[in-house]
Amino acid sequence: MYIKVFLKNCALSCYQRQKGLSTLRKCGTAVLGASLACAYGTTVVACKDVTFMAKTVTAEEELKRANDMRSRMELMIMEAQAEFCKALELEEDGGKKFNVDKWKRAEGGGGVTCVLQDGKVFEKAGVNISVVTGNLPPAAVAQMRSRGKNLREGVELPFFAAGISAVIHPRNPYVPTIHFNYRYFEVKDGEKVDWWFGGGTDLTPYYLDEEDAVHFHGTLKAACDRHDTSYYKKFKKWCDKYFHIPHRGESRGIGGIFFDDLDTPGQEEAFKFVTDCANSVIPSYIPIVKKHKNKMYTDNERQWQLLRRGRYVEFNLIYDRGTKFGLHTPGARFESILMSLPLNARWEYMNVPYERSREGKLTEILKNPKDWV
């Protein structure tokens, strides 16, 4: 066994050499990705066994040697993927397991897409990581310039991106859908390297349980507060603004946090914040799944859930920046991008719930986002 771990002050984890152990069902090869050293800090705080869902995208030896932010981010997202997938599988009570696809991108890099479809508890759950390099076309550079990045105009620039993205659509209408995404970006302009983090976690209930909303937002707020007490308020507002469906005048869900272009106070601190956010997904969501997953529900409730899933599709296909960017990128793996879409969705003409119904109350909250904590 090979352990080399030193985490400063939060529940990050270590990596153990676990030769021969395999969680890679579909590809049928052994998982060696877990055998990695991670020297983020100076103090050992926690140590967990982590087996990744597949081999790392970047060669193991290279990640071990480098220990730069690219490598540390890749390890962090591989670990977050594995922990989240396993937490979800546990809720399936012996139902389906995640299907694991490791893929390569011709232009550079690749990813690991884990999908659990038609499960007992989860109708469709997708957890994807990608680590890609290439050249940003001038149009993409222009888009970044418009967001305030100091980059040259009209040229292709080399980039690196590593991120995790997940959307979980449960079967029971009382269990909300969750989405999260955390990413690290580098753009090289001459000798200068611009870097930043982005991401967020947000919840989409079909029936509103206020206790759930408070728990969910409270968990995210606690993660934010550990790093900067101004973050939660700012990122909650950003989230409400981002996950808005303009043509319907309503939000996709009850929000959470969302941020982009985070490069303060420093790389180390920003990475720790993002890691803490990623680690907060399980405690923010799994208790809600446990609470509702065995509740009885009617066909009317199921139909309402499917209608709301239609709205989810509208947001993702029409407005979501990530989806649009992905689908318009030549050589993008569209199956990994579209895994965010629900297994089933429905569109009824002019379905407006009665104001005083539970469906009406949810709609009211979606039209007027509320502060939960």
Residues making contact with its own copies (CB under 8 A): 99, 101, 113, 115, 117, 124, 126, 246-248, 306, 310, 313-314, 317-318, 324, 327, 332, 334-335, 337-339, 341-350
List the one residue out of 260, 254, 75, 110 whose CA is nearest residue 181.
Answer: 260
Known active-site residue 169: no
Rank residues 246 and 266 by Cβ distance to its own copies and give the closer one.
246
Per DSSP, 22 falls in state: -
Identify the three-state secondary structure at position 133.
Answer: strand
* C-alpha–C-alpha distance, residues 38 and 5, integer Å: 6
Instruction: Tell the smallest beta-carbon distance from residue 372 to its own copies (Å).
Output: 28
Report whether 80 contacts 279 (CB < 8 A).
yes
Instruction: Tell the smallest beta-carbon distance from residue 137 to its own copies (Å).
Output: 16
Cis before 170 (ω within 30): no
Rank residues 298 and 349 by Cβ distance to its own copies and give the closer one.
349
Both tokens of residue 324? Answer: 């649009």
Instruction: Tell the smallest beta-carbon distance from residue 248 to its own copies (Å).
Output: 7
The catalytic residue among 179, 215, 217, 292 is 179
* C-alpha–C-alpha distance, residues 117 and 120, integer Å: 9
Rank residues 27 and 345 by Cβ distance to its own copies and give the closer one.
345
Instruction: Tell the smallest beta-carbon distance from residue 318 to its own copies (Å).
Output: 5
Rank residues 33 and 342 by Cβ distance to its own copies and give the closer one.
342
* C-alpha–C-alpha distance, residues 219 and 221, integer Å: 5
CA distances from 200 to 7, 26, 48, 197, 277 (A): 23, 30, 25, 10, 8
Both tokens of residue 58? Answer: 């970047």
Rank residues 52 and 315 by Cβ distance to its own copies and give the closer one.
315
* C-alpha–C-alpha distance, residues 360 and 60, integer Å: 52
* C-alpha–C-alpha distance, residues 285 and 230, integer Å: 23
Instruction: Tell the smallest beta-carbon distance from residue 140 to its own copies (Å).
Output: 17
* C-alpha–C-alpha distance, residues 323 and 307, integer Å: 21
Residues that are catalytic: 179
